[in-house]
Amino acid sequence: MPAGVQPDGLKIMPTYKTKGIVLFKKDLSQNDGLFVILSQNFGKITVKARGVRKIQSKLASHLLSFNLVDLTFASGRFFDQITSVNVVETYPKAKNNLKRLSLIFFAVEAIDQLVKEKAPEPELFSLFKNFLNLLNEKKITKPLSYFLALFVFKLIYQLGYQPELYFCQNCRKKILPEKNYFSPELKGVVCLSCQNRVKGAFPISNNTIKILRLASKLSLEKLIKIKVGDREISELGRLAQILLKSH
């Protein structure tokens, strides 16, 4: 008997297990819903939950946005279908704090914008999980906008979109600890000699460049412990917005 076929001739659809973080839900029909999930093993996936919109649905409470879940799903013709799901963590402290919740929404929007479907990214899953853990458990003393910017940089770096931080994007000379600029058009740092030749370049401090370089090497938990001033926080926030818009 061929593999994947039952004795009555019905095809058995393969099933898959993974941990995942629910990003958001889309209504599919009167009873069914689609869930976009950042999974540990399969990257960003869209899966169908039958009957999830019914009042008596047992799946609905497990599939709330930003829950960490153990998920089993089966291959489907149009959408993979959830066969079982169990909550691992709900991050209640982060969800019940409006400022922190707004950061999660922004992070989810960035993930949905940049991450392709079914492209396995286990490091990205770990990054977002760590981001939620820190928002839920840690007392973050620095501005939340700075913490969000750090997440954006690490997200962009892990997806291979790291800006050039070591050599001038115009003349290719090594960037020295002097007055430097950032070019949104060239997506990298330009030196003092080249700044007038590059449209839209704006000043960037050496400390900001250092933090950007460290963001590719250090964890979020270590990055938020670095001493920064108001100028660096402002510049990093601006850069995060620019890099998101350019991809």
Report the range out of 23-27, 32-36, 93-97 with the highest average pLDDT.
Answer: 93-97
Residue range 231-246: mean pLDDT, rounded: 94
* Tens of pLDDT, residues 95-135: 999 999 999 999 999 999 999 999 998 999 999 999 999 99
Residue range 156-181: mean pLDDT, rounded: 96
Assigned token pair, 130: 């760590």
Q: For residues 159 and 115, is the Cβ–Cβ distance under 8 A?
A: yes
Report the range out of 2-11, 143-152, 238-247 with the highest average pLDDT.
Answer: 143-152
Is the pLDDT score of 246 beyond 90?
Answer: no
Assigned token pair, 56: 């008596």
Residue range 60-85: mean pLDDT, rounded: 92
Q: For residues 49 and 59, is the Cβ–Cβ distance under 8 A?
A: yes
Is the pLDDT score of 88 beyond 50?
Answer: yes
What's the pLDDT score for residue 12?
Answer: 61
